[in-house]
Chain A
Amino acid sequence: MDEIIVIALSALTSIAILMLTSLGLAVIFGLMRIVNMAHGEFLMIGAFTTTVAVRIGELSIWLAILCAPVVCALVGAFVELAFIRPLYGRRLIDTLLVTSGLSLILYQIAINVFGTASPGIGTPPGFAEIGSYTVSYYSLFLPVVTVLLTALLYALFKWTRYGLLARAASDNPDMASVLGVEVRRVNLSTFVLGCALAGLGGGLISPMVAVSPGVGQSYVGQAFMTVVTGGPAFLLGTLSASALLGGIANIVSQMFTTLWGLTALLVTAIILVRLLPRGLSGNWSRQL
């Protein structure tokens, strides 16, 4: 019995990690249709910000995690103004290529600054005892944050004026600008929001993973698969896809090894793409 609870909790943590590492991409790619291949590097920047703030700045871990979205938002604003803005309205492939280039540049800069070694920070202390097993409080904290964050974003896009404008500007930029929406500014804010979310995701997972310049690249593939299988409802679709893919991957890796867990994630995603080309939320009536 205890074992089942522990397995379920572990699956819940993996789902949360998959969702947290996909959320920024859900906004930037799911909503804005910008293929941001540098998403992994924003995760990486967030993770390094937290690590550096704890180890060098000697901040508490919670403050350090909050630094991550701030730094990523600033980098994101620069990237949008310098590289993404000239590409609105051009082929999506162009954006994809430019952001891949950025991904490589940011990756190499991180190697030059931090080296390839991974300076870890410990998981915040405290754990729950379930029978003979222990589960750290932090791994239980992640699913809670994930749910809160998704609910907050849902409210933001559903009920605020900014949310309406952001959806309008992505849906039909020409029409939105005819109606007086300042599309460029709205796009900038949405892109920055997505980068900040990626940074927050990176910060939140940094105590759980080995932080290295390549950390983003090991998550970006999964994140894209999750958002693609999530489909048009970029928040709840991505959440469902995380639950499905993350759950399957976690259970398979507990039964066998991480390798098979990842393979299971890939295979499930590919089968889903074949069966539901428009994604899990393809036939839903909600758009968020």
Chain B
Amino acid sequence: MGLQPARTPVPVSLVPWIRTASRRGLLWPLLVVVAILALSPLLSTATELKWTLWLSFGILALSLTLVWGIAGIFSFGQNAFFGLGGYAFAVAAFNFFPATGETLTALILGAFIAALFTALLGYVTFYGRVGDVYLAIVTLSVTLILYTVMSSTAGPEYRIGAAHLGGFNGMPSVPGIAFGNGEFSYRELFAFAVCLAGALYAFVQFLITGRYGEILAGLRENEVRMELLGYDVRFHKLGVFVIGGAIAGIGGALFTAWGTFINPAIFGLPQAALVVIWVMVGGRGSLLGAFFGVIAVQWISDQADKIVAQQTPLILGIMLVVMVLVFPGGIVPAVTSRLHALRRRWRSGRGKKDRTGASAPSAAPPDNEADSDGKPVSRGSLAALGVGKRFGGSVVLEDVTLEFGQHNIHAIVGPNGAGKSTLFGLLSGRHKVTQGRVKLNGIDVTNTPTYERARRGLGIKLQVPSIFHGLTVRQNISLALTAPRKHRQRSASEATVLEMVGLLDKHDSLAANLGHGEQQWLEIGMLIAQNPPVMLFDEPAAGMTQDERKRTVNLIRQLSTDHTVIVVEHDMAFVRALDAPVVMLYHGGVFRQGNFDELSNDSEVRTIYLGRGRDAAR
């Protein structure tokens, strides 16, 4: 890069590494850290102290940005993890510092305790499948109860080794950060805080720009689809929640070291609200916004404090109400999107060279098509053996035995209320059977969760397109291509898939901006990318035009040459066009099986379907 290659040649392997790092936005945090450190002799002690505090808050905001903004999990108790980190640091520092003269282990312990607590809380909530709002309530309630608990530790019996928890007054005179040769001075602490914040920022940036970032975005956008693709949503949510907790814990340890003090106020509602305000002001998805949000909000409340002293909760409350009602998207993003627009205009004035360059590789025509055709694939099978489902007292499905796999395409029909959706739910794993077994490729999957069935080779297209609205078409397909799987089928390339569903020229548009039909195609594209031996389509023709239906029929026939396709459908003309064996459900059981003509000439079937069956048979 800026080095002189003639005299000291950079090792060849390092160049692409640096290039990758710069593309993923990892280099400039380093530059910012170096720049701040270089300028720090110019700063006054008061400024350095204030900035150290803000950096510890910024780390806390960064953790919420990761958990909420990036992964879409609203944690209202992020300050609890910060506070626990702070308390753990204090307790450990009191016990270790006199003996070892260092508190780095205390810092690590702070992160560890916070991570442990988030892991417990996250395990309970995510594995209990508690809804989004419940998570917010549970995290906040836990925070507020921690406040009450920590406030009532004033008695002399609340002592951990050399540390006394101190109740409402907290723990004063905590040792600061030390590496073994005395506590850090303010200046050293500031330098340490800058490096720590830079490192954590780079770590999060590294996480979210890679493959893991794609998974987190998928969680945020559509959990159901992630599960259908074979991702274990609970595990990934727990993972990012724990990472966020650990980061918050580090921030809390830094906070305690900064003030050499911690008290239960850190667990209060004002503090919980403050974290959310920082992130909202900075913009939920922006890592840099986390730090800007802290600076902006803290500066405003410092200024406000000069006018009316001691009214922080009131000011925070007003900020929160105004933010949600007036600027729900955040203030910093509103500014940066304007800047981006300006830059784009400036760039397009200079020529479009780099822009076409960027999109070229993916737009290249599929040249490795043989890849997807070359290998023989074993067709999958799916079987429902005597399955039944009861909701409360009412029996929706009883003793249904169906085996799919001996033909290319299978169709399931039936009037409203026949039990089609319930059967679909039992096959996909959304509902648990109350009787019978389900087998996938010969293996019993009756008690296997949805994501595990997906990994073993069951792909599902839902009736209402279930896609990642906030991601681009290409990212949608990429999440499906790289989904974890246990079946042996190879996937086609991204470009092949996009071409098959006719979205090649839209690969960079947001999925939300596609038309309704195109969204259906995108979902089918994800199914093709996932390439499971068994594909389940729930009413694929719903809401499609005549022309789109024809294309869908053709695509399903094309897929059926090397997959087992099961179609649940309402529309008789569509079923006839599929030219496949048909199962008709009625009143929660199998009513008829046969080919389309047999069924449509059956007088009982026609009575059940009234005019509809006659129309289709005409």
Point out residues on A near B: beta carbons under 8 Å.
35, 37, 83, 86, 92-94, 96-98, 100-109, 111-112, 217-218, 220-222, 224-225, 228, 257-259, 262-263, 265-266, 269-271, 273-275, 277, 285
Interface status of B436 (Cβ within 8 A of chain A): no
* B313 A265 Cβ-Cβ under 8 A: no
A sample of 8 inter-chain contacts (CB < 8 A) reads A104-B317, A108-B311, A108-B317, A217-B147, A228-B141, A257-B152, A266-B141, A277-B129
Contacts of B147 in A (CB 8 A): 217-218, 221
* A101 B124 Cβ-Cβ under 8 A: no
* B141 A221 Cβ-Cβ under 8 A: yes
* B136 A221 Cβ-Cβ under 8 A: no
Taking the closest CB of chain B, its distance from the CB of A165, in whole angstroms, is 24
Interface status of B203 (Cβ within 8 A of chain A): no
Taking the closest CB of chain B, its distance from the CB of A257, in whole angstroms, is 7
* B324 A97 Cβ-Cβ under 8 A: yes
* B140 A221 Cβ-Cβ under 8 A: yes
Contacts of B144 in A (CB 8 A): 217-218, 220-221
Known: A101-B317, A101-B319. A265 touches B145 (CB 8 A): yes
Known: A105-B317, A224-B141. A274 touches B136 (CB 8 A): no
Interface status of B224 (Cβ within 8 A of chain A): no
Known: A94-B328, A96-B133. A105 touches B313 (CB 8 A): yes
Known: A101-B273, A218-B148, A262-B148. A93 touches B74 (CB 8 A): yes
CA distance A93 to B133 in the complex (A): 7
* B145 A221 Cβ-Cβ under 8 A: yes
Contacts of B142 in A (CB 8 A): 221, 266, 270
Chain A's interface: helix, strand, loop or mixed, by majority? helix
* A105 B318 Cβ-Cβ under 8 A: yes
Taking the closest CB of chain A, its distance from the CB of B141, in whole angstroms, is 4
Contacts of B120 in A (CB 8 A): 270
Report, nearest first, the 5 A-B pairs whose CB atoms are least far apart.
Answer: A101-B320, A104-B317, A221-B144, A105-B317, A108-B314
B372-409 contacts to A (CB < 8 Å): 392
* A277 B128 Cβ-Cβ under 8 A: yes
Q: Which residue of B lies closest to A216 (CB)?
A: B269
- Contact pattern, B 264-284, Cβ under 8 Å of A = 1, otherwise 0: 000011101100100010000
Known: A266-B142, A285-B392. A259 touches B276 (CB 8 A): no
CA distance A93 to B284 in the complex (A): 13
Q: Which residue of B lies closest to A83 (CB)?
A: B321
Contacts of B318 in A (CB 8 A): 101, 105
Taking the closest CB of chain A, its distance from the CB of B77, in whole angstroms, is 10
Q: Which residue of B lies closest to A111 (CB)?
A: B313
We find that the number of chain B residues with CB closer than 8 angstroms to chain A is 52
- Contact pattern, B 234-278, Cβ under 8 Å of A = 1, otherwise 0: 000000000000000000000000000000000011101100100
Taking the closest CB of chain A, its distance from the CB of B65, in whole angstroms, is 15
CA distance A35 to B324 in the complex (A): 14
Contacts of B272 in A (CB 8 A): 100
* A104 B314 Cβ-Cβ under 8 A: yes
* A96 B76 Cβ-Cβ under 8 A: yes
CA distance A201 to B7 in the complex (A): 80
Known: A104-B273, A217-B268. A228 touches B324 (CB 8 A): no
Contact of B317 among A102, A224, A228, A266 (CB under 8 A): A102
Contact of B148 among A93, A100, A221, A269 (CB under 8 A): A221
CA distance A66 to B346 in the complex (A): 68
Contacts of A100 in B (CB 8 A): 76, 269, 272-273, 276, 317, 320
Contacts of A93 in B (CB 8 A): 74, 132-133, 136
Q: Which residue of A lies closest to B152 (CB)?
A: A259
* B130 A277 Cβ-Cβ under 8 A: yes
CA distance A265 to B127 in the complex (A): 21
Q: Which residue of A lies closest to B274 (CB)?
A: A104
* B140 A94 Cβ-Cβ under 8 A: no
* B145 A222 Cβ-Cβ under 8 A: yes
* A274 B324 Cβ-Cβ under 8 A: no
Known: A93-B74, A94-B328, A222-B141. A274 touches B124 (CB 8 A): yes
Among A98, A104, A111, A258, the most chain B Cβ lie within 10 Å of the Cβ of A104
CA distance A217 to B264 in the complex (A): 13
Contacts of A97 in B (CB 8 A): 273, 276, 280, 320, 323-324
* B129 A225 Cβ-Cβ under 8 A: no
* B316 A104 Cβ-Cβ under 8 A: yes
* B129 A98 Cβ-Cβ under 8 A: no
CA distance A37 to B320 in the complex (A): 13
Contacts of A221 in B (CB 8 A): 140-145, 147-148
B51-92 contacts to A (CB < 8 Å): 74, 76
CA distance A263 to B147 in the complex (A): 11
CA distance A262 to B130 in the complex (A): 22
* A266 B124 Cβ-Cβ under 8 A: no
* A263 B325 Cβ-Cβ under 8 A: no
Interface status of B134 (Cβ within 8 A of chain A): yes
Q: Which residue of A lies closest to B328 (CB)?
A: A94
* B145 A259 Cβ-Cβ under 8 A: no
Interface status of B605 (Cβ within 8 A of chain A): no
* B314 A105 Cβ-Cβ under 8 A: yes
Contact of A104 among B148, B155, B320 (CB under 8 A): B320
* B321 A98 Cβ-Cβ under 8 A: yes
- Contact pattern, B 5-32, Cβ under 8 Å of A = 1, otherwise 0: 0000000000000000000000000000
Contacts of A108 in B (CB 8 A): 311-314, 317
Taking the closest CB of chain A, its distance from the CB of B125, in whole angstroms, is 7
Contacts of B128 in A (CB 8 A): 273-275, 277
Interface status of B207 (Cβ within 8 A of chain A): no
Interface status of B153 (Cβ within 8 A of chain A): yes
Taking the closest CB of chain B, its distance from the CB of A84, in whole angstroms, is 11
* B137 A35 Cβ-Cβ under 8 A: yes
Interface status of B195 (Cβ within 8 A of chain A): no
Interface status of B121 (Cβ within 8 A of chain A): yes
Q: Which residue of B lies closest to A271 (CB)?
A: B124
Q: Which residue of B lies closest to A220 (CB)?
A: B144
Q: Which residue of A lies closest to B143 (CB)?
A: A221
Known: A96-B136, A218-B148. A86 touches B311 (CB 8 A): no
CA distance A96 to B153 in the complex (A): 30
Contacts of A102 in B (CB 8 A): 317, 321
Taking the closest CB of chain A, its distance from the CB of B83, in whole angstroms, is 14
Interface status of B138 (Cβ within 8 A of chain A): yes
CA distance A106 to B321 in the complex (A): 13
Contacts of A104 in B (CB 8 A): 269-270, 273, 313-314, 316-317, 320
Contacts of B577 in A (CB 8 A): none
Known: A100-B320, A228-B138. A273 touches B152 (CB 8 A): no
Contacts of B311 in A (CB 8 A): 108, 112
* A228 B137 Cβ-Cβ under 8 A: yes
Among A101, A102, A218, the most chain B Cβ lie within 10 Å of the Cβ of A101
